[in-house]
Amino acid sequence: MNEPIRFLCDGEPVDAEPGQTIAAALTAADVWTLRRTRGTGRPRGVFCGMGVCFDCLVTLNGRPDVRSCVERVVAGDEVVTTGVRDV
């Protein structure tokens, strides 16, 4: 069994299995809201899980609008889930 890797989500440490997507690791850590809509502020998270719907956008290492369901987590990554994003 591989050792878990650690990354930061909104400044908090999160452990993940090697090879997991960011969305899978956050779901396993009980993080469900990844962004909020502009007009109503409604929460959005993983919906399609294959990079089509863009509901799972996060900021990764300062790069905005990364689809967390298709991006694999790397040790030391910094993920920001909060904020309103236009899609």
pLDDT at 83: 61
pLDDT category at 1 given cuts 50, 70, 90 is low
| Each residue's pLDDT tens digit, 33-86 | 999 888 888 999 999 989 999 999 999 999 999 999 999 999 999 999 976 555
Provide the whole-model pTM. 0.88
* Domain 5-80, architecture per CATH: Roll (3.10)
Read off the amino acid at residue 66: V
Distances (CA, A) of 28 to 15, 20, 77: 9, 10, 17
8 and 59 in contact (C-beta within 8 Å)?
no
59 and 79 in contact (C-beta within 8 Å)?
yes
